[in-house]
Structure 1
Amino acid sequence: MNALAIFLGVIGAPQIILIVVIILLLFGGKKIPELMKGLGSGIKEFKNAAKEEENKDSKKDETTTKE
């Protein structure tokens, strides 16, 4: 069995609800939308950077095959 699965155990609905409640208590209801907006923009930036790298690699491959 995977060592990480043994360490974390099975995460089900009760555990997720508990995590959400703890986050609400720590950050409060007003800060969570700001945190999610920041998380969303970070994911968007990561995806854009990954696409740019993929495009660079494909253009690099096209130039090497033409030569």
Structure 2
Amino acid sequence: MYSQDLLKWSIIKWGINNNMKYYNLSGINPNPESKKEEGIFRYKKKWGGKQYTLWRLFFK
């Protein structure tokens, strides 16, 4: 196991033990457009969470 995975797993276990309901891994592109985005998608997906659509509104 990689050290960053062990750290992430420890954070998840801590959250479970402290009755946390959510752990936000931040956003992903569900349709990766580059190798980097594919890697980020795979890394976050391996933790087995649910994927939600987040809508944002930006003003200029």
TM over 0.5, shorter chain = no
The structure whose RCO (Cα within 8 Å, separation 6+) is larger is: 2
Q: Which has the higher helix share?
A: 1
Which structure has the larger Rg over C-alpha atoms?
Answer: 1
- TM-score, structure 1 normalization: 0.27
